[in-house]
Amino acid sequence: MMNSIVQYLWLIPAIPLVASFVILSLSNRQRATAAALAIGGQLGSLVVSLLALSVTLSAPGFRAFQNFTWFTFGEHALRLGWVIDPLAAAMVVMVTFVGLCIFVFSTGYMADDKNFVRFFAYLSFFSSAMLGLVIANSLLLLFISWELVGLASYLLIGFWIERPSAAAAAKKAFITTRIGDLAFLLGIVWLYGSSGTLLFYDDGRGCLENSALLVLGATTTSIALLIFCGAVGKSGQFPLHVWLPDAMEGPTPVSALIHAATMVAAGVFLVARMFPLFSHGAIAGVTPSLTVVVWIGVITALMAALIAIAQMDIKRILAYSTVSQLGLMMVSLGVGGVIAGMIHLLAHGFFKALLFLGAGSIIHACHHEQDIRRMRGLRRLMPITFVTYTVGMLSLSGLPLFFAGGWTKEGILEATSHWSSSPLPYYLMLFGVVLTAFYMTRQMLYVFFGNPAGAAAHARENRPNMTLPLVVLAICTVGLSVFLTPAWPWLNDYLAGKVPEIDFSELFHPLMFLSLALVAGGIGAGFFVYRDVRDTDPLERAQPAAFRFLANRMWLDEFYGATVIALARISSKFADFMDRYVWDGLVRLVGVIGHLLATLTKGFDERGINAGVDEGTVGARGLGALIARRHSGQIQTYLGAIAVGMVALLLLYAWLG
């Protein structure tokens, strides 16, 4: 049984991949077939994932892998493989399940789109790439899937390619993450050069196992940091977070997929997977590379939470909340709370998908209006969306007891409070909790409360294929919390490879009351500030300068425009100058010399030789005109002639033997 599931593990990414290729070959009118194939593919993957999960439940800390040789190159053999352990199993189940909900939702959301079929092909491809990334047992295979995820995100963010802003956002996402990926690739090459393997687990010889880590010694810090650069790009960490809010140009289901199940989860997953490398040689759980991870996470979490306060686009608020939550997860990984970070990632997958699909439901009902100032009072018009969105919002804010996000966030706070290097991240994270509750309350009050007006006035609840995924995800968000309580931390212990025990005395942790107070404070402050919302934000009236600073995303895009992009522009101007004047000048110099020589010979030619030859050229001219007629100027005709000639030569060759 143990080996058999490993042998079929490749089916998890393969099923959606095949579905994606089949859908691509469909015609634009076969909408129902396309949606059925995509959803069926996802369902098939979910079934295999659940089987894999059930196998990992058989023993605590279960791990099985299968490696194979991709190709041998001289003395080197490049080997790839699959691995299933609690980390991978929990991720594949989350990705396929959340993906399934998003796929179903998309059948409603994209119903009017003319490229419906293509959309589902890309969605399947996206999901397949992410699943491949999760089950990879080789950094190389992980990197291949990683890049495929990047490609899929490019295709989907720029799905509405006719909008220039969507095309620009897709390019921005692709290029920004590419900066991180370059460093990641260098890290991979370095790791391979020093340890000679890219397999994670290989019966004691893998790069995450002790023997390889010992060989690496002090270079682990540099390699880990290079690999972390990749995670910074993909998971939208400061300073490469700028692409993530712009990625909102894609259709809302895509945002849900990017922010919940795929893409941004990849970076956090990568750090969690490579954790032995990051933590190698740790003294009291602190290594230089992990310290970098913590501080990048702290900066990202706080910065994004602050920016989210001043955003007006419903999806952008959620985008910054994702950036902020990812920062929180990075902090957790950095302080050594890998399990806490991972379960927050899993829970976040559910409630963030719920929030994005809820936002999609609102946007769909309000005829693609995304500005929260033009929505009002949707509470009564869209009751299902309202209730499910509230569940998502409370979970994101981290209200304890009934919502998954509350427990996982506490796990992270708990881990952070024990960090031996500095207590500062802990206090900053507590502040982040207040901010999160505050900006989510602000959004809720804008969108759902008050009297319906503006674009919202004629909104109606969407059809079941859009509301059903919301309800399912909301139930999961609440239901998941059963497995997360400190009294019965099932998911925790499952990932940690321990046997879960029930201990009700753990349920009421002092941290829970602190967290409850902070969340209540944030929500209360939100209610106080936004008790009657008007067109200008109350904070904007109070602090226009600070508000503008945040609303313009701390001018970071402008800053990059003035530095990095300007530098690129100057260097290309320089290259252009060199090309035009220096190298071209050299070429022209040669030309001038040739010209001079030609002028010298010209006189001799014209007087001495031409006179006689002119007489003889009449016939040649006639022949030339005849040949010139064959020269249509159509390159393809010439190429065709070359091809025919080549085939003729080949035939001749074959005939002559």
Partner 1 sequence: MTPTLQYFLIASSLLFSIGLLAVLSRRHAIFILIGIELMLAAANLNFVAFWRFNPDPAETTGVIVAIFAIAIAAAEAAVGLALVIAVYRHYRTTSVDHLDQLKG
Residues that bind partner 1 (CB under 8 A): 72-75, 627-636, 639-640, 643
10 Å CB burial of residue 576 (0-12, 13-18, 19+) is exposed
Q: b or e along 287-324 (b: 16 or more beta carbons within 10 Å of the residue's beta carbon)?
A: bebbebbbbbbbbbbbbbbbbbbbbbbbbbbbbbbbbb
Residue 356 to residue 254: CA distance in whole angstroms: 9
Closer residue to partner 1 in complex, CB, 607/630: 630
Least separation, in Å, of the C-beta of 463 and partner 1? 41
Closer residue to partner 1 in complex, CB, 4/637: 637
Least separation, in Å, of the C-beta of 626 and partner 1? 10
Least separation, in Å, of the C-beta of 634 and partner 1? 6
CB 357, CB 314: distance < 8 Å: no
Least separation, in Å, of the C-beta of 27 and partner 1? 20
Closer residue to partner 1 in complex, CB, 114/630: 630
Closer residue to partner 1 in complex, CB, 74/612: 74
Least separation, in Å, of the C-beta of 621 and partner 1? 13
Closer residue to partner 1 in complex, CB, 214/587: 587
Closer residue to partner 1 in complex, CB, 510/633: 633
Q: Cβ contacts of residue 360 below 8 Å, gap of 6+?
A: 105, 109, 252, 253, 255, 256, 466
Q: b or e along 246-272 (b: 16 or more beta carbons within 10 Å of the residue's beta carbon)?
A: bbbbbbbbbbbbbbbbbbbbbbbbbbb
Closer residue to partner 1 in complex, CB, 536/571: 571
Closer residue to partner 1 in complex, CB, 210/571: 571
Least separation, in Å, of the C-beta of 329 and partner 1? 36
Least separation, in Å, of the C-beta of 78 and partner 1? 12
CB 393, CB 355: distance < 8 Å: yes
Least separation, in Å, of the C-beta of 70 and partner 1? 12
DSSP assignment, residue 137? S
CB 390, CB 401: distance < 8 Å: no
- Kindly list the distances between the CA atom of residue 544 and the CA atoms of 332, 438, 548, 556, in Å, as whole numbers in the listed order: 34, 18, 6, 18
Angle subtended by helix axes 383-397 and 510-529, to nearest 10: 130
Half-sphere exposure of 558 (CA within 13 A, CB side): 7
Least separation, in Å, of the C-beta of 161 and partner 1? 15
Angle subtended by helix axes 264-273 and 86-109, to nearest 10: 180
Give the number of other Cβ atoms within 10 Å of residue 4's Cβ.
Answer: 10
Closer residue to partner 1 in complex, CB, 628/656: 628
- Kindly list the distances between the CA atom of residue 512 and the CA atoms of 399, 496, 562, in Å, as whole numbers in the listed order: 9, 22, 45
